[in-house]
């Protein structure tokens, strides 16, 4: 029997993520509830250090849920590099390239929605972990195989290995709803498994195997929901003068002992409160880095000098109170600058000199997310910040997309989370209704740029390719209509809903980007250009109607039929089923099949092509019987060259100030316009 409080948290999770456990029979409902509980446990345990890790990223939650057939006894699994879950080798490379040192952690979870521990189930769990770190003698499902590829890359790549601060760590969690097991059989089985893992071919820095019962699970749920607050005894304090118009409630600087500040850094179980650093741009670089090595040497050898040698720590919080002269209270703190200092203090918390160390802390109290983000950027401007972190602050996102999403009315309300944690404080907004920059970028690339084979890539790589140059970007242009982006988000939501409800088989999930594109083609029309116009809005309005029930259910079946036909055509050509998701050739076959099925006219009209640049003819110049000209760009002062090779029409039809559309390419002498057509 599940504890009523735990059941309350479980039910809240199902509601927030729109997980339906109703079935056609009691056995089916029980199976779906068990799967939902496994997802719930994975959500809680992976969120403890990063409470917002799955906000607007249900795909990541699905990724760590590996339970099902051939799961080898493992229900949840993730690889964390510098505390971030990675879902592919590309993300491993990205973090490795941006970090001086990396820490790798493997996490395995088994969940049971019942009291007590079955030793045979625990042993199966351990066998699955050992199999993962072997050559793989047991059959593994696709989820485990994907994570295995990440593991093999980590242990074989020269750059990754050279940046390891320590050997990877290994954490195993065995979860049930009853009391934590203490009997000799379980303790013995746990110690035996730990020894077998220690003696294996893989060397781990630490191995932790922990049993979690219902009470601990409830405590973890409360930790995710409740605000964290801490009281500190301080030495000195003085206020900072700020402009009240900036929506900053309070700002102070204080000094305190490092041993006292540990109340902020250390959790009850003695581990580091990693969630404090969610807003910090730079990860902990490790004790071997020059800066941190010098910092820790100062603590050990000259602790009295630390205050003078260190820049201190900056905290943004929701509230700050001076309880009495030398006692303060901080609510919901985030350390936005001072990650290295905080980690060094935590690492040396048992050093005899830690009580002699004083630190300088600046604390700013605000509930305005814009002010908080500004402080984060200001305190981290010296650090390397990835381009995608700033894409969402561009005017197109702030002034066009976000207002459009908020104003849109439909049966399903979709929210564009342009800023991290933007909708955290609104309990009425379900997490499954939130999309972020990653989802929007990947779905738009699949649907409207017709590149489903690329859309699974990290948003930074997609933005680098499709939004690298402001004048030639193909995504998030100021001239674009916001409607296609909204349609992309709503399409993502509806397909995710059908996957959750089992209306689309899980075997299609790896190809959902291809399904998005087929769905767009199922309208039976080629899209017009993406720039704001009545044509593109009318086109999207038709797609919007297809996304409503019951029409969407009928449309989905058509989409799946086209995908199945395409896959069979692919296999008939003698091509392999493996690698279809990333294949340009498979995407081409799929597009041809979608056009053949849904669209009579196989080639889009020139007038309907998605030409992405507009300008006016500046002049036409003739020399020795050959002509060339220049186009004046609408947004930029520089004119762009073109000639007869890139205009297939009648030269007599071109005149000064005539509007044209064109693509941009680059040759030995710089940029030039190609595919130039007259705007009719």
Contact 223, 274 (CB under 8 A): no
CB 238 within 8 A of CB 216: no
Q: Do residues 640 and 633 make contact, with C-beta atoms less than 8 angstroms apart?
A: yes
In the chain, which stretches have pLDDT less than 50? 281, 381-386, 606-611, 635-637
Tell me how far CA of residue 482 lies from CA of 262, 523, 529, in angstroms.
47, 19, 12
Phi, psi dihedral angles at 48 (to 5 degrees) = -55, -45
pTM of the model: 0.67
**From CA 225, how far away is CA 149, in angstroms rounded?**
35
Q: What stretches of 226-274 show up as alpha helix (H) in DSSP? A: 258-265
Write out the two tokens for 93.
């490379």
In this prediction, residue 287 carries a pLDDT of 57
Q: Looking at the chain, which residues constitute the CATH 2.40.50.140 domain(s)?
A: 613-678
Query: What pLDDT, on a 0 to 100 scale, did the predictor assign at position 606?
Result: 44
Cβ proximity of 18 and 500 under 8 Å: yes
Give the pLDDT confidence of 510-549 residue by residue, as tens digits.
899 999 999 999 999 998 888 888 899 999 999 999 999 9
Say which CATH architecture domain 613-678 belongs to.
Beta Barrel (2.40)
Q: What pLDDT is attached to residue 378?
A: 61
pLDDT of residue 139: 94
CA angle 450, 484, 409 (to 5 degrees): 145
Q: Give the Å distances, CA to CA, from 400 to 442, 480, 520, 532.
A: 19, 9, 23, 11
User: CA quadruple 43, 49, 51, 54: dihedral positive or negative?
Assistant: negative
Closest to 34 measured CA to CA, from 60, 57, 17, 14? 14
Contact between residue 160 and residue 154 where contact means Cβ atoms under 8 Å apart: yes
Token representation of residue 231: 């009281």
Q: Are 394 and 480 in contact (CB under 8 A)?
A: no
576 CB contacts (<8 Å, ≥6 apart)? none
675 CB-near residues (< 8 Å, 6+ apart): 611, 646, 662, 663
pLDDT tens for each residue of 99-124: 888 999 999 999 999 888 889 999 99
Which tokens is 290 given? 């020059």
3-class secondary structure, 65: strand
Cβ atoms of 244 and 17 within 8 Å: the answer is: no
């Amino acid at each position: 029997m599940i504890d009523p409080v735990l059941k309350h948290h479980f039910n809240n999770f199902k509601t927030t993520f729109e997980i339906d456990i109703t079935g056609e029979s009691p056995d089916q409902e029980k199976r779906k509830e068990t799967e939902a509980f496994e997802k719930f446990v994975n959500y809680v345990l992976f969120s403890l250090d990063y409470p917002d890790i799955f906000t607007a990223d249900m795909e990541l939650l699905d990724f760590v849920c590996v339970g099902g057939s051939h799961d080898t006894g493992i229900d949840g699994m993730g690889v964390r590099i510098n505390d971030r879950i990675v879902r592919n080798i590309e993300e491993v490379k990205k973090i490795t390239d941006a970090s001086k040192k990396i820490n790798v952690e493997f996490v395995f979870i088994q969940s049971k929605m019942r009291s007590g521990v079955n030793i045979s189930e625990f042993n199966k769990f351990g066998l699955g972990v050992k199999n993962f770190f072997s050559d793989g003698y047991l059959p593994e499902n696709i989820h485990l195989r994907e994570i295995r590829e990440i593991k093999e890359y980590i242990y074989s790549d020269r750059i990754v290995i050279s940046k390891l601060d320590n050997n990877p760590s290994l954490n195993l969690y065995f979860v049930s709803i009853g009391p934590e097991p203490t009997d000799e059989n379980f303790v013995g089985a746990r110690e035996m498994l730990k020894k077998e893992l220690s003696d294996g071919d893989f060397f781990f820095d630490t191995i932790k195997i922990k049993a979690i019962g219902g009470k601990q699970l409830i405590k973890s749920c409360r930790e995710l929901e409740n605000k964290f607050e801490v009281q500190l005894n301080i030495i000195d304090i003085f206020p900072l003068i700020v402009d009240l118009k900036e929506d900053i409630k309070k700002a102070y600087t204080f000094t305190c002992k490092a041993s006292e500040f540990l109340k902020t850094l250390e959790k009850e179980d003695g581990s580091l409160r990693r969630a404090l650093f969610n807003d910090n741009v730079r990860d902990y670089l490790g004790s071997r880095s020059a800066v941190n090595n010098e910092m820790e040497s100062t603590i050990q050898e000259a602790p009295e000098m630390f205050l003078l040698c260190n820049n201190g720590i900056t905290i943004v919080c929701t509230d700050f109170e001076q309880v009495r002269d030398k006692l303060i209270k901080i609510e919901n703190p985030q350390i936005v600058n001072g990650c290295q200092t905080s980690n060094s203090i935590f690492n040396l918390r048992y050093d005899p000199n830690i009580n002699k160390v004083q630190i300088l802390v600046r604390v700013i109290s605000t509930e305005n997310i814009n002010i908080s983000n500004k402080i984060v950027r200001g305190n981290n401007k010296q650090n390397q910040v990835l381009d995608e972190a700033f894409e969402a602050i561009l005017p197109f996102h702030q002034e066009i997309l976000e207002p459009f999403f908020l104003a849109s009315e439909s049966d399903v309300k979709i929210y564009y989370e342009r800023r991290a944690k933007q909708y955290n404080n609104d309990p009425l907004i379900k997490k499954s209704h939130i999309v972020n920059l990653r989802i929007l970028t990947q779905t738009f690339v699949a649907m409207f740029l017709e590149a489903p084979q690329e859309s699974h890539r990290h948003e930074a790589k997609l933005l680098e390719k499709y939004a690298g140059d402001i004048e030639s970007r193909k995504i998030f242009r100021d001239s674009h209509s916001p409607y296609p982006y909204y349609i992309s988000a709503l399409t993502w939501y509806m397909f995710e809903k059908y996957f959750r409800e089992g209306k689309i088989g899980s075997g299609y999930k790896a190809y959902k980007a291809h399904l998005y594109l087929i769905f767009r083609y199922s309208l039976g029309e080629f899209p017009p250009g993406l720039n704001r116009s009545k044509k593109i809005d009318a086109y999207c309005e038709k797609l919007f109607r297809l996304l409503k029930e019951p029409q969407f259910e009928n449309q989905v079946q058509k989409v799946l039929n086209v995908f199945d036909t395409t896959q069979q055509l692919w296999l008939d050509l003698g091509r392999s089923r493996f690698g279809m998701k990333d294949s340009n050739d498979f995407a081409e076959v799929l597009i041809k099949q979608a056009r053949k099925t849904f669209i009579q006219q196989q080639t889009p009209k020139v007038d309907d092509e998605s030409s992405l640049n507009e300008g006016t003819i500046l002049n036409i110049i003739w020399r020795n019987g050959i002509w060339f000209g220049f186009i004046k760009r609408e947004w930029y002062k520089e004119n762009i060259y073109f000639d007869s090779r890139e205009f297939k029409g009648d030269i007599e039809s071109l005149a000064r100030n005539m509007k044209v559309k064109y693509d941009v390419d680059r040759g030995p002498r710089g940029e030039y316009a190609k595919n130039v057509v007259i705007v009719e």
